[in-house]
Amino acid sequence: MIEALKKNPKFHRRPGPVVLVIMDGVGFGKYTDGDAFLNAPTPELDHLMKQSPFTKLKAHGKAVGMPSDADMGNSEVGHNAIGCGRVFAQGARLVDEAIESNQIFSGKVWRELVDNVNNRNRTLHFIGLFSDGNVHSNIKHLRAMILRACAEGVKKIRIHTLLDGRDVPESSALEYIEPFEKFLAELNQTDGRDFRIASGGGRMVITMDRYGANWDVVRKGWETHVLGIGDYYPDAKEAIIELRKKTGAIDQDLPPFVVSDDGVNPIGSIMDDDSVVFYNFRGDRALEITAAFEGGDEFDKFDRGRVPNVVYAGMMEYDGDLHVPQKYLVNPPEIDRTMGEYLCACGEPQLAISETQKFGHVTYFFNGNRSGKFNPELEDYIEVPSDIIPFEQRPWMKAAEITDRVVAAIADGKYRMIRLNFANGDMVGHTGIFHAAEVAVSCVDLCVKRIRAAVGKAGGIMVVSADHGNSDDMLEHDKTGNLVTDPATGNPARKTCHSLNPVPCIIFDPANQGEYRRELKSDMGISSLAATCIELLGYLPPPDYDPSVLDFSKNNR
């Protein structure tokens, strides 16, 4: 048990709640072209940024625990940082360090994976997002594991590729597939090795569902990777080329494919006694496929057909409370003493709410990769079910429904702290459809206006921020800032990944009469939001939390 926080003597607690609004994927772009946040009508946010205390926060790179400032932020690490008030080394950095130190290869799980296939003359399979986006995975980790397995005598490897086009350029799959096929071919030249890409498909079509939004995505992945059922192609390159011609889809939306030499038999279905590594380090889109492998006879989400008896491991432990998966290669960050836990220790009733696509972010990730609640008597979690439809076709998503529930909760007066996530800027930003992203951001703006009115009426405080950028950077620019042209269309190349841009931090607090300066601190990261909310609730933040954006100096006015 942690101790309750001490009261903040410099702050008069407001009668209403503190409401933390996380506008997922909304930041400040560097370029006018491609910035949906800048170009969309957002009168409420524009007004708030002019009339309320406002600053910009870092939401990428080292500010959220990534290896370097060239690494974009993401919703997982962003909500970790916001919820725990400190910066922890995250998945990408932890795996980098484990590989550099050889710690990953000296552990018992790696030993079991390799010994299993060597002793039984079986196949080692790797499944994961096939890019260097460094959000869910990085193929340099895959390459390192293949080289190590090769050195340890593994003769047969099959790779099941989940095509990205979301954390990297939208049609860049062949830029990863072709060099990797060459890399595998070079390894295959000696010692009777047989290393090949066996299956694949777009990450939004197979395998990488999250929060139980659409288990049919996982079913398709199971059939593709495990059973080898699907459309056959002689290799991954031809599959991607042909599927692009057939569907016109970008990488993340390409249908599944299976590699077959004879058009009848798959080269890489997963069989009894094989070893399988799911090499994504991020947990949200890894839990469901893991459940399909580890769920046993109790698994009921879809008919798996044949269920092979394999040694299965994840790159990391994806859920520290449920201990999923049972075997993993790298220890996850140990995140403790989150804001939610401290507020429970103080007896503060809390509400967390979002739609399915981001529900785990305001609960699981916000709580330091912890399932469940710290105190069920003080915490309520509301999930608004997401529509199963392309987000560009309904860019308003469930923002209005979330807002309805939040406005009612504010008026009810039950909660002292409310946190919510609007998924629109991120999920629609990932589609690359600029007009849809403009609609998405405008929708969020309307919802913020409604929440601001409810907060003002209740005598509360609203904090508006984001976990990372996305909708603010939807067109590719070269190093000189010029637009990049898509050779296939002649139009500006779309960008579907997160940005490296800062995000807003707005404090709407009509009752502030100089307790803290109007000018908020600058050059800070989103981890400062935890201490900020704690101070606005009338407490002193833990000493090791990153400082808040508020300045309670004596010369307040």
Residues known to be catalytic: 75
Q: What tokens appear for 514 in the block?
A: 């100089």
CB within 8 A of 20, min separation 6: which ones? 82, 417, 418, 419, 420, 463, 465, 529, 533
Q: How would DSSP label each residue in 4-69? A: PPPB-TT-PPPSS-EEEEEETB----S-STT-HHHHS--HHHHHHHHHS-EEEEE-SGGGGT-SST
Q: Answer for the pair 529, 504: CB distance below 8 angstroms, yes or no.
A: no
Q: Give me the residue label for tokens 């919802």.
A: 447
Q: How far is CA 477 from CA 63, 499, 512, in A?
A: 24, 12, 42
Angle at 35 between CA 72 and CA 430, to 5 degrees: 55
Q: Answer for the pair 340, 363: CB distance below 8 angstroms, yes or no.
A: no
End-to-end CA separation in angstroms for the chain? 39
Q: Give me the residue label for tokens 């293949």.
A: 146
118 CB neighbour count, 10 Å cutoff: 16
Q: How far is CA 149 from CA 111, 126, 157, 185, 277, in A?
A: 10, 11, 9, 15, 12
Per-residue DSSP letter, 371: -
For residue 530, give the H/E element and its range. helix 528-536
Instruction: Classify residue 519 by burial, with Cβ atoms within 10 Å: 0-12, 13-18, 19+.
Output: exposed
Q: Answer for the pair 466, 503: CB distance below 8 angstroms, yes or no.
A: yes
Which amino acid, one-letter code, is at 352? A
